[in-house]
Amino acid sequence: MTHTTSLLRPRDADALRAEIRWVANKAGVPVVFGGEVHNDALLLTEFVGTMTNGLRGLSVLRTSGLGGRVMDMRRPASVADYRNASSITHHYDGPVSGERIRSVVAVPVVVDDHSRAVLYAANRGGSPLGDRTADLMVEAGRRLASEITIRDEVDRRIRLLELATPTPDTAPAVTEELRDIHAELRGLARSAEDERLRTRLHDVCERLTRVLTGAPGSDAPRLSRRELDVLSQIALGCTNQEAAQRLSLSTETVKSYLRNAMSKLDTHSRHEAVVIARRHGLLP
Protein backbone atom coordinates (compact mmCIF):
# COMPACT_ATOMS: atom_id res chain seq x y z
CA MET A 1 0.00 0.00 0.00
CA THR A 2 1.47 3.34 -1.07
CA HIS A 3 1.29 6.33 1.28
CA THR A 4 2.04 9.80 -0.02
CA THR A 5 3.96 12.24 2.15
CA SER A 6 3.06 15.91 2.49
CA LEU A 7 5.46 18.72 3.26
CA LEU A 8 3.76 19.08 6.64
CA ARG A 9 4.15 15.45 7.67
CA PRO A 10 7.35 14.51 9.51
CA ARG A 11 9.02 11.23 8.54
CA ASP A 12 7.13 8.31 10.06
CA ALA A 13 10.51 6.56 10.36
CA ASP A 14 11.44 9.06 13.09
CA ALA A 15 8.41 8.04 15.17
CA LEU A 16 9.18 4.37 14.47
CA ARG A 17 12.80 4.84 15.59
CA ALA A 18 11.64 6.51 18.82
CA GLU A 19 9.39 3.55 19.69
CA ILE A 20 12.15 1.03 18.92
CA ARG A 21 14.52 2.87 21.24
CA TRP A 22 11.82 3.05 23.92
CA VAL A 23 11.26 -0.72 23.77
CA ALA A 24 15.00 -1.41 23.85
CA ASN A 25 15.43 0.78 26.92
CA LYS A 26 12.29 -0.38 28.71
CA ALA A 27 12.45 -4.11 28.00
CA GLY A 28 16.22 -4.50 28.10
CA VAL A 29 16.25 -7.00 25.22
CA PRO A 30 19.46 -7.26 23.18
CA VAL A 31 17.95 -6.66 19.71
CA VAL A 32 15.03 -4.44 18.65
CA PHE A 33 14.36 -3.47 15.06
CA GLY A 34 11.62 -2.71 12.54
CA GLY A 35 10.51 -0.91 9.44
CA GLU A 36 7.64 0.59 7.50
CA VAL A 37 5.38 -1.22 5.03
CA HIS A 38 5.39 0.14 1.47
CA ASN A 39 3.57 -1.46 -1.46
CA ASP A 40 2.87 -4.62 0.56
CA ALA A 41 6.54 -5.12 1.48
CA LEU A 42 8.16 -4.47 4.84
CA LEU A 43 11.48 -2.61 4.57
CA LEU A 44 13.71 -3.01 7.65
CA THR A 45 15.46 0.31 8.38
CA GLU A 46 15.64 0.91 12.14
CA PHE A 47 17.86 -1.11 14.50
CA VAL A 48 19.11 -1.23 18.08
CA GLY A 49 21.64 -3.86 19.15
CA THR A 50 22.41 -5.51 15.81
CA MET A 51 25.97 -6.73 15.16
CA THR A 52 25.88 -6.96 11.35
CA ASN A 53 24.28 -5.17 8.40
CA GLY A 54 22.57 -8.35 7.19
CA LEU A 55 19.07 -7.21 8.15
CA ARG A 56 19.52 -3.58 7.12
CA GLY A 57 17.49 -2.73 4.03
CA LEU A 58 15.96 -6.22 3.91
CA SER A 59 12.60 -6.32 2.11
CA VAL A 60 10.18 -8.75 3.76
CA LEU A 61 7.30 -9.85 1.55
CA ARG A 62 3.77 -10.46 2.81
CA THR A 63 3.35 -13.93 4.41
CA SER A 64 7.14 -14.53 4.26
CA GLY A 65 9.03 -15.05 7.50
CA LEU A 66 7.69 -13.93 10.86
CA GLY A 67 7.40 -10.27 9.85
CA GLY A 68 5.51 -11.07 6.67
CA ARG A 69 3.22 -13.34 8.64
CA VAL A 70 2.22 -10.69 11.20
CA MET A 71 1.94 -8.09 8.44
CA ASP A 72 -0.58 -10.37 6.72
CA MET A 73 -2.44 -11.48 9.88
CA ARG A 74 -2.38 -7.98 11.41
CA ARG A 75 -1.74 -9.38 14.89
CA PRO A 76 1.39 -10.14 16.95
CA ALA A 77 3.21 -13.48 16.77
CA SER A 78 6.36 -14.99 18.22
CA VAL A 79 8.70 -17.95 17.80
CA ALA A 80 10.82 -19.39 20.61
CA ASP A 81 13.36 -20.96 18.23
CA TYR A 82 13.48 -19.14 14.89
CA ARG A 83 15.70 -21.64 13.07
CA ASN A 84 13.44 -24.62 13.84
CA ALA A 85 10.05 -22.88 13.78
CA SER A 86 7.53 -24.66 11.54
CA SER A 87 4.92 -21.86 11.66
CA ILE A 88 6.87 -19.50 9.37
CA THR A 89 8.72 -19.62 6.08
CA HIS A 90 12.50 -19.49 6.24
CA HIS A 91 13.31 -17.09 3.39
CA TYR A 92 15.47 -14.91 5.65
CA ASP A 93 17.43 -17.49 7.64
CA GLY A 94 20.76 -16.11 6.37
CA PRO A 95 20.60 -12.60 7.84
CA VAL A 96 18.74 -13.83 10.94
CA SER A 97 21.42 -16.46 11.59
CA GLY A 98 24.08 -13.81 11.06
CA GLU A 99 22.68 -11.99 14.08
CA ARG A 100 22.46 -15.31 16.02
CA ILE A 101 18.82 -14.50 16.72
CA ARG A 102 16.79 -17.26 18.33
CA SER A 103 13.63 -16.02 20.10
CA VAL A 104 11.62 -13.30 18.30
CA VAL A 105 8.42 -11.32 18.89
CA ALA A 106 6.93 -9.36 15.97
CA VAL A 107 4.13 -6.79 16.34
CA PRO A 108 2.35 -5.12 13.40
CA VAL A 109 1.38 -1.44 13.53
CA VAL A 110 -2.15 -1.51 12.17
CA VAL A 111 -3.99 1.59 10.93
CA ASP A 112 -7.40 1.34 9.23
CA ASP A 113 -6.98 -2.43 8.96
CA HIS A 114 -3.66 -2.09 7.09
CA SER A 115 -0.23 -2.99 8.47
CA ARG A 116 1.87 0.17 8.24
CA ALA A 117 4.97 -1.02 10.09
CA VAL A 118 6.33 -3.99 12.05
CA LEU A 119 8.32 -3.96 15.30
CA TYR A 120 10.58 -6.85 16.36
CA ALA A 121 12.29 -7.76 19.63
CA ALA A 122 14.75 -10.65 19.77
CA ASN A 123 17.05 -12.70 22.01
CA ARG A 124 20.20 -14.40 20.82
CA GLY A 125 19.80 -17.40 23.07
CA GLY A 126 18.60 -18.59 26.43
CA SER A 127 14.97 -18.29 27.47
CA PRO A 128 12.21 -17.12 25.09
CA LEU A 129 11.10 -13.50 25.37
CA GLY A 130 8.60 -13.06 28.20
CA ASP A 131 5.13 -11.57 28.42
CA ARG A 132 6.48 -8.25 29.68
CA THR A 133 8.48 -7.72 26.49
CA ALA A 134 5.48 -8.68 24.37
CA ASP A 135 3.26 -6.26 26.32
CA LEU A 136 5.75 -3.43 25.86
CA MET A 137 5.95 -4.19 22.13
CA VAL A 138 2.16 -4.09 21.81
CA GLU A 139 2.05 -0.82 23.76
CA ALA A 140 4.66 0.73 21.45
CA GLY A 141 2.81 -0.55 18.38
CA ARG A 142 -0.48 0.96 19.52
CA ARG A 143 1.16 4.27 20.32
CA LEU A 144 2.78 4.38 16.88
CA ALA A 145 -0.51 3.43 15.21
CA SER A 146 -2.22 6.32 17.02
CA GLU A 147 0.48 8.75 15.89
CA ILE A 148 0.26 7.59 12.25
CA THR A 149 -3.55 7.87 12.39
CA ILE A 150 -3.26 11.49 13.50
CA ARG A 151 -0.74 12.24 10.75
CA ASP A 152 -3.01 10.64 8.14
CA GLU A 153 -5.94 12.76 9.30
CA VAL A 154 -3.82 15.91 9.18
CA ASP A 155 -2.81 15.09 5.60
CA ARG A 156 -6.48 14.54 4.68
CA ARG A 157 -7.45 17.88 6.17
CA ILE A 158 -4.62 19.66 4.38
CA ARG A 159 -5.74 18.15 1.08
CA LEU A 160 -9.26 19.45 1.76
CA LEU A 161 -7.82 22.90 2.31
CA GLU A 162 -5.89 22.72 -0.95
CA LEU A 163 -9.06 21.75 -2.83
CA ALA A 164 -11.18 24.50 -1.28
CA THR A 165 -11.53 27.24 -3.91
CA PRO A 166 -14.61 29.26 -2.95
CA THR A 167 -16.79 31.03 -5.52
CA PRO A 168 -19.21 33.88 -4.69
CA ASP A 169 -22.03 31.32 -4.43
CA THR A 170 -20.15 28.85 -2.24
CA ALA A 171 -18.02 31.24 -0.16
CA PRO A 172 -20.19 31.21 3.02
CA ALA A 173 -20.39 27.41 3.12
CA VAL A 174 -16.68 27.04 2.34
CA THR A 175 -15.81 29.55 5.08
CA GLU A 176 -17.75 27.51 7.61
CA GLU A 177 -16.03 24.31 6.43
CA LEU A 178 -12.63 26.00 6.72
CA ARG A 179 -13.49 27.12 10.25
CA ASP A 180 -14.40 23.54 11.11
CA ILE A 181 -11.12 22.28 9.61
CA HIS A 182 -9.24 24.99 11.55
CA ALA A 183 -10.80 23.83 14.83
CA GLU A 184 -10.11 20.16 14.09
CA LEU A 185 -6.49 20.86 13.20
CA ARG A 186 -6.08 22.57 16.56
CA GLY A 187 -7.59 19.51 18.24
CA LEU A 188 -5.24 17.21 16.33
CA ALA A 189 -2.29 19.37 17.35
CA ARG A 190 -3.07 18.67 21.00
CA SER A 191 -3.21 14.91 20.36
CA ALA A 192 0.03 14.64 18.35
CA GLU A 193 3.00 13.37 20.37
CA ASP A 194 5.58 14.69 17.89
CA GLU A 195 6.60 18.22 18.98
CA ARG A 196 7.57 19.23 15.43
CA LEU A 197 4.20 18.08 14.12
CA ARG A 198 2.37 20.07 16.81
CA THR A 199 4.34 23.20 15.96
CA ARG A 200 3.76 22.86 12.23
CA LEU A 201 0.04 22.20 12.78
CA HIS A 202 -0.23 25.42 14.75
CA ASP A 203 1.62 27.20 11.94
CA VAL A 204 -0.96 25.86 9.45
CA CYS A 205 -3.77 27.10 11.70
CA GLU A 206 -2.22 30.56 11.81
CA ARG A 207 -1.79 30.59 8.02
CA LEU A 208 -5.42 29.55 7.58
CA THR A 209 -6.53 32.33 9.92
CA ARG A 210 -4.51 34.89 7.95
CA VAL A 211 -6.00 33.66 4.65
CA LEU A 212 -9.54 34.14 5.95
CA THR A 213 -9.11 37.28 8.07
CA GLY A 214 -5.79 38.92 7.22
CA ALA A 215 -3.04 39.54 9.75
CA PRO A 216 -4.13 40.29 13.34
CA GLY A 217 -4.30 44.00 14.10
CA SER A 218 -1.52 45.62 16.06
CA ASP A 219 -3.94 46.18 18.94
CA ALA A 220 -5.09 42.54 19.02
CA PRO A 221 -4.89 40.93 22.49
CA ARG A 222 -2.29 38.18 22.84
CA LEU A 223 -4.14 34.90 23.41
CA SER A 224 -2.26 31.69 24.18
CA ARG A 225 -2.49 28.68 21.89
CA ARG A 226 -4.64 26.86 24.44
CA GLU A 227 -7.03 29.81 24.72
CA LEU A 228 -7.35 29.91 20.92
CA ASP A 229 -7.82 26.13 20.87
CA VAL A 230 -10.81 26.49 23.20
CA LEU A 231 -12.24 29.52 21.40
CA SER A 232 -12.04 27.74 18.04
CA GLN A 233 -14.24 24.96 19.44
CA ILE A 234 -16.64 27.42 21.06
CA ALA A 235 -16.90 29.17 17.68
CA LEU A 236 -18.31 25.93 16.24
CA GLY A 237 -21.07 25.95 18.87
CA CYS A 238 -19.47 23.38 21.19
CA THR A 239 -20.38 23.29 24.86
CA ASN A 240 -17.58 23.34 27.41
CA GLN A 241 -17.94 19.57 27.79
CA GLU A 242 -17.81 18.98 24.02
CA ALA A 243 -14.76 21.25 23.69
CA ALA A 244 -13.08 19.36 26.55
CA GLN A 245 -13.71 16.03 24.81
CA ARG A 246 -12.37 17.26 21.47
CA LEU A 247 -9.25 18.75 23.03
CA SER A 248 -8.63 15.95 25.56
CA LEU A 249 -8.91 18.39 28.45
CA SER A 250 -11.02 18.49 31.58
CA THR A 251 -14.16 20.64 31.54
CA GLU A 252 -12.73 22.82 34.32
CA THR A 253 -9.57 23.45 32.28
CA VAL A 254 -11.68 24.51 29.29
CA LYS A 255 -13.64 26.87 31.53
CA SER A 256 -10.40 28.37 32.84
CA TYR A 257 -9.00 28.98 29.32
CA LEU A 258 -12.32 30.45 28.23
CA ARG A 259 -12.41 32.82 31.22
CA ASN A 260 -8.85 33.96 30.47
CA ALA A 261 -9.70 34.56 26.81
CA MET A 262 -12.85 36.52 27.70
CA SER A 263 -10.87 38.64 30.14
CA LYS A 264 -8.15 39.45 27.58
CA LEU A 265 -10.79 40.27 24.95
CA ASP A 266 -12.78 42.33 27.48
CA THR A 267 -15.98 40.42 26.75
CA HIS A 268 -18.75 39.06 28.94
CA SER A 269 -20.08 36.06 26.99
CA ARG A 270 -18.82 33.16 24.93
CA HIS A 271 -20.48 34.47 21.77
CA GLU A 272 -19.04 37.95 22.23
CA ALA A 273 -15.57 36.50 22.77
CA VAL A 274 -15.75 34.66 19.43
CA VAL A 275 -17.00 37.77 17.62
CA ILE A 276 -14.26 40.00 19.05
CA ALA A 277 -11.56 37.38 18.40
CA ARG A 278 -12.64 37.24 14.75
CA ARG A 279 -12.75 41.02 14.55
CA HIS A 280 -9.12 41.12 15.73
CA GLY A 281 -8.15 38.44 13.17
CA LEU A 282 -7.37 35.85 15.84
CA LEU A 283 -9.92 33.30 14.57
CA PRO A 284 -11.12 32.56 11.01
**Average pLDDT along the chain, 284 residues, taken 10 residues at a time:** 56 93 95 95 96 95 94 95 92 94 96 96 88 95 93 81 56 72 81 81 79 70 89 89 89 93 90 87 84
The residue segments making up the domain with residue 82 are: 12-148
Q: Distance between CA atoms of 203 and 66, rounded to whole angstroms?
A: 42
87-111 confidence digits (pLDDT tens): 999 999 999 999 999 999 999 999 9
13-29 confidence digits (pLDDT tens): 999 999 999 999 999 99
Q: Which of 34, 46, 97 is nearest to 70 (CA)?
A: 34
Q: Which of 148, 180, 206 is the last residue of a domain?
A: 148
Residues pairing with 106 in the sheet: 77, 120
CA distances from 131 to 104, 139, 158 (A): 12, 12, 41
Q: Is residue 1 part of a domain?
A: no
Q: Distance between CA atoms of 232 and 243, rounded to whole angstroms?
A: 9
Q: Which of 98, 115, 148 is the last residue of a domain?
A: 148
Q: Distance between CA atoms of 141 and 170, rounded to whole angstroms?
A: 43
Largest CA distance in the chain: 73
Q: Is residue 233 part of a domain?
A: yes
- What is the total count of domains within the chain? 2
Q: Is residue 6 part of a domain?
A: no
Whole-structure pTM over 0.85, yes or no? Answer: no
The answer to whether the CB of 37 falls within 8 A of the CB of 118 is yes
CA distances from 147 to 135, 142, 154 (A): 18, 9, 11
Residue 50 is predicted with a pLDDT of: 95
Same-domain check for residues 130 and 33:
yes
Q: DSSP states of 157-188 as a string?
A: HHHHHHH----TTTHHHHHHHHHHHHHHHHHH
Q: Which of 105, 104, 109 is nearest to 83 (CA)?
A: 104
Q: Distance between CA atoms of 26 and 24, rounded to whole angstroms?
A: 6
Q: Distance between CA atoms of 99 and 93, rounded to whole angstroms?
A: 10
Phi/psi-derived region of residue 86, left when phi > 0, alpha when psi is between -120 and 50, beta in every other case: alpha
Same-domain check for residues 111 and 210:
no
Same-domain check for residues 260 and 183:
yes
SS3 assignment, position 98: helix
Same-domain check for residues 134 and 182:
no
